[in-house]
Amino acid sequence: MSKNIRTNLSVSQNFLTSRKTIDRLLRIANLTNTDNVLEIGAGKGHITKALIKKCNFVTAVELDKTLYQKLSVSLAGERNIKLINNDFLKIKLPQNEYKVFANIPFSITTDIIKKLTQSENPPVEAWLVMEKGASKRFSGKPDENLHSLLLKPFYDIEIKYYFSKDDFHPSPSVDTVLFHISKKALPDIEFSNRIYYYDFINRAYKFGVNTLMTKRQISKALRNASLPQSGETLYIQWLCLFRCYLYLNYNYKYEGK
């Protein structure tokens, strides 16, 4: 992405300005005064100001220098806020436990989710305002894909709210939703093995799963798990194949759920 495009990300955002809508969203998110929250793309500060009143501490990132400076002035004196004027994709994520609530720039949705969910310290939960089409893709609808498969072993994902275009200024040209990502209490794959899983899924999508396992190994793994061996490959089938791959290549016997 070019420097000029990055510089204009905030300017091109569709801002949530209705306090009534923002308050409704925060109730859905059930944020409390014990939560430390990271906001991506603070913009004009409408969500930021509501978060400050609701949460313990807010770290708000804004790339646009003009918006950052205006927000710095309007929030002067507030003690539970840290403003950062930088590209979110370049900053370090918090080291302590935190949640994310943000109206993100649609143009870098994939990069944002990848950074949040594949980091060493991912958020406990993330509430992201995003394009409906993107949310369906990350949910694996209508079919599983690379993005959904990278999320599903470790996170529960769900659309929690459908916006009206009138909720934004200016109105977006696409349908928009509030997308919820939360860490699974008991992940389908141990967190320590996620690097192997990411490698497996990425390579399978790029080169084909037959380059990682023989047809006989694939057939046996699915048959032993009483799973279909033809048609669309569902998430549970991918999970089965990875567990078999992990055993075959790293002698790791899975004993989880």
pLDDT single digits (tens) 63-76 = 999 999 999 999 99
Residue 30 has pLDDT above 80, yes or no: yes
Q: For residue 65, give the nearest of 43, 85, 45, 81 by alpha carbon.
A: 85
The 8 Å CB, 24+ separation contacts for 219-225 are 220/244
Task: Give how far the C-alpha of residue 208 lies from the chain's centroid of Cα atoms, to the nearest Å.
Answer: 26
Summarised one tens digit per residue, pLDDT across range 34-58 is 999 999 999 999 999 999 999 999 9
* Chain centre to alpha carbon of residue 215: 34
Do residue 7 and residue 58 come from a single domain?
yes
Residue 22 lies in a domain: yes
> Same domain for 94 and 218?
no
Is residue 47 in a domain? yes
Beta strands in the chain (DSSP E): 15-16, 36-40, 57-61, 81-84, 99-103, 125-131, 155-162, 168-169, 176-183
Task: Choose the final residue of a domain: 183, 210, 236.
Answer: 183
Tell me the residue range of the domain where 61 lies: 3-183
Identify the domain boundary among 166, 183, 200.
Answer: 183
Residues 168 and 214 both lie in one domain: no
* Position 257 in a domain: no
Give a yes or no: residue 153 inside a domain: yes
How far is the C-alpha of 180 from the C-alpha of 99, rounded, in Å? 11
Determine, yes or no, domain membership for 255. Answer: no
Closest CA to 105 of 58, 63, 74: 63
Share of the chain above pLDDT 90, in %: 83
Domain boundary among 183, 203, 230: 183
Q: How many domains does the chain have?
A: 2
Tell me the C-alpha distance between 47 and 240, whole Å: 42
User: In terms of domains, do 76 and 113 share one?
Assistant: yes
- Res 257: pLDDT: 41
Cα maximum dimension of the chain: 66
pTM of this structure: 0.90
Task: Select the more confidently predicted residue: 257 or 249.
Answer: 249
The verdict on 230 and 118 lying in the same domain is no
pLDDT at 133 > cutoff 90: yes
